[in-house]
Structure 1
Amino acid sequence: MATNSEPVEETGGCACGALRFRVNARPRRVSLCHCMTCRRIHGNVFGGYAMFERSAVEFSGSTQAWQSSPGARRHFCPTCGSVAFMEYVSSDELDLPLGAFDRVGIYEPSYELWCCHKEPWLPAGVRDEYDEGRPE
């Protein structure tokens, strides 16, 4: 996990390498999401995300996108299908999947969303949990 004295630049990308990103700031927050959309797009029981100000993220390569909810679009690599990021219509924020970063263990989630869909065999009480979305 990065400390305040370590550099903040991190890189990552999709599985095939056609899409790359670089961040130059620390995330605003980091979470695990158990919603049914995250479960399905990741093919796993949750998705992990680091949320950044849009201006802190640079991309190379192209994406395709789809409207995953009224206020959000999910982007993916058109070559390999890897989840690239999620953007919000009324926000300056991008959510980058934790598994897309080149280094592991750099960001630790502090809360979990949509725990109403959380697998019962996952540990409870490890971090703040919200039955649905996080209160603003």
Structure 2
Amino acid sequence: MAETIRTGGCLCGNLRYEVRGEPFKGGLCHCTDCRKVTGTSFLHYADWRPHQFTQTGPFETYDGRSFCPRCGSHCFNISDDQIEIHLGTLDDAPNDIKPLVEGWAKRREPWLPTIPGIPMFPEDP
């Protein structure tokens, strides 16, 4: 079976990335930081290991969150042991990556429908 390769990038196309294989975790985050970064009610994310990730083009980082310096699109968060991809920046939409958890559910909008079988945590899972 061929390895899954997903590509994505920023709005202007200056920053591009590729992730190989499947993420090891993912979900929805309703925390204040994710709400502010996305400009909406939550962040849909998935995490890959650094060896599964490559990127081209310049990016800036603020408080661990990386974005295109030209258009400002937030694409990923880089740490030593994981790369958190903001799934809205993938080229393919919709994609087949379903959330496994919801974090910071105490800040979740009450009008959002629940996702059956997905555990919700009041703060970080």
The two structures share one fold, judged by TM-score above 0.5: yes
Query: Which of 80, 84, 103 in structure 2 is aligned with 1:113?
Result: 103
Q: What's the C-alpha RMSD, in Å, of the aligned pairs?
A: 1.3
What is the Cα deviation at residue 92 of structure 1?
Answer: 1.0
Tell me, what secondary structure is at the counterpart of 1:130? coil
Large movers: runs of 4+ above 3 Å = none
Unaligned runs of 5+ in 2: none
Aligned mates of 1:125, 1:77 — CA distance in 2: 32
Q: 1:49 to 1:125 in 2, by over 3 A?
A: closer
Aligned mates of 1:116, 1:61 — CA distance in 2: 37
Trace 1:92-107 onto structure 2 (pairs within 5 A): 92-104=81-93, 105-107=95-97
Which residue of structure 1 lines up, in the alignment, with residue 66 of structure 2?
75
Matched, 1:55 2:51: yes
Contact kept, 8 Å, 1:63 with 1:84, in 2: the verdict is no
The TM-score normalised by the length of structure 2 is 0.93
What is the Cα deviation at residue 24 of structure 1?
Answer: 1.2
What is the Cα deviation at residue 87 of structure 1?
Answer: 2.1
What is the Cα deviation at residue 10 of structure 1?
Answer: 0.8
Which residue of structure 2 lines up, in the alignment, with residue 131 of structure 1?
122
The TM-score normalised by the length of structure 1 is 0.85
Q: 1:37 to 1:103 in 2, by over 3 A?
A: same
Aligned mates of 1:125, 1:48 — CA distance in 2: 13
Query: Which of 47, 61, 65 in structure 2 is aligned with 1:65?
Result: 61
Aligned mates of 1:132, 1:21 — CA distance in 2: 29
Aligned mates of 1:108, 1:124 — CA distance in 2: 13
Which amino acid is the alignment partner of residue 121 of structure 1? W
Which amino acid is the alignment partner of residue 45 of structure 1? S
